[in-house]
Amino acid sequence: MHTFAYLGPAGTFTEEALKKISCDSDVRNPYINVTAALDAVRAGAADYALVPIENSVEGVVARTLDELATGIPLTIAGEVTLAVTFDLMTKPGVTTINRIGTHPHAESQCRTYLSKNYPHAEIVPTNSTAAAAELVAKGELDAAIASSAAADNFGLEITATNIGDNQAAVTRFIAAQKPGFIPEPTGHDRTSLVVYIDIDHAGALLEVLTVFAKYDVNLTFIQSRPTGRELGHYHFVIDVEGHIKDEAVANSMEDLRGICDDIRFLGSYPREVRP
């Protein structure tokens, strides 16, 4: 039995993704936001935290990347993907909709529907789609964009289904843990790391990419994020194919340590084939 923290409340897409990788005997505790879920692992209140990291339409979840890159160190134990569809929901009988709540990523994926059907409605950002549904149930919002599970959980009525602009949207979630355990290689793995380069070092990023090319290591993800020190200071979150125990990945990491200011290893773990 394991204890999982996840982005809550109940009824989020994160909870739906968690059900794909956890057992009925596992404890699943919702947290108000990504930071709180990850902090539960750091504090020892949970074994793992499941949080979203990127969406195929909207892109990265910046808060997750920043927590992994600059927060108290955690590593990734695994990943799971989930096809996401969005519904509009209200309390039963509600016909006037002036305030619609949802997570910013969901809102950006439903802009065509919203501009066509509710061009004058106020869009209220919430910590999660299910949090918006909860506010609707409390009477604080007129409607929410969330999952059908959230509607069921909070006793809401779905007034429009599958309202997303892209019918093939997929979100990737990662399970974070305390450092110290690395899953064994499976032959279908991903290694994640954060690379810190010298701002005054011309061609530094090219040098990083050249290292991976030298050892024929394929990059599957690269994202720059500000360090927070000053304008122009960035670190890079990178995913590559392979495991840290694979010779090519291990050699790449060794070479990178010689040219980078610092490297934070975020884990090697099995990749999930996307739906």
Tell how far CA 146 is from the center of its chain.
16
The answer on 59 and 8 residing in a single domain is yes
Mean residue pLDDT of the chain comes to 92
Residue 60 counted as domain residue:
yes
pLDDT digits (tens, 9 = 90+) for 127-160: 999 999 999 999 999 999 999 999 999 999 999 9
Report the pLDDT value the prediction gives residue 261, as an integer from 0 to 100: 84
Tell me, yes or no, whether 184 lies in a domain. no
**Share of residues in the chain with pLDDT > 70 (%):** 95
What is the extent of the structural domain holding 146?
87-160
Four-residue CA torsion sign, 72, 47, 82, 151: negative
Mark whether 73 and 173 lie in a shared domain.
yes
For residue 275, what pLDDT is reported?
A: 40
Output the CA torsion sign for 41, 275, 149, 161.
positive
My answer on whether 203 and 224 are in the same domain is yes
Residue 229 is assigned to a structural domain of this protein = yes
Q: Residues 146, 197: one domain?
A: no
Tens-digit pLDDT profile for residues 24-43 = 889 999 999 999 999 999 99
Q: What is the count of structural domains for the chain?
A: 3
Same domain, 80 and 95: no
Residue 273 scores a pLDDT above 60:
no
CATH of the domain at 246: 3.30.70.260
CA-nearest of 206, 214, 198 to 254 is 214
pLDDT for the residue 216: 97
Residue 101 lies inside a defined structural domain of this protein = yes
Domain identity same for 173 and 51: yes
Q: What is the dihedral of CA 110, 20, 72, 208, to 10 degrees?
A: -70
Q: How confident is the model at residue 172 (pLDDT cuts 50, 70, 90)?
A: very high
Confidence of residue 206 (pLDDT cuts 50, 70, 90): confident
Note whether 71 and 91 are same-domain residues: no
pTM of the model: 0.87
DSSP 24: T
User: Has residue 136 been placed in a domain?
Assistant: yes
The rounded Cα 55 to chain-centroid distance in angstroms is 7
State the Cα–Cα distance between residues 184 and 187, nearest whole angstrom.
9
Work out the burial of residue 105: count CB atoms within 10 Å of its CB; fewer than 13 is exposed, 13-18 middle, 19 or more buried: buried
Of 126, 150, 177, which residue constitutes the final position of a domain?
Answer: 177
Distance CA 59, CA 237 (A): 13
The CATH number given to whatever domain includes residue 99 is 3.40.190.10
77-124 pLDDT, tens digit each:
999 999 999 999 999 999 899 999 999 989 999 999 999 999 999 999
What mean pLDDT is predicted for residues 56-75? 91
141 and 16 within one domain: no
CA distance 222 to 235: 10
pLDDT band at residue 224, thresholds of 50, 70 and 90?
Answer: confident
**Pick from 26-35, 187-196, 233-242, 243-252: least confident:** 233-242
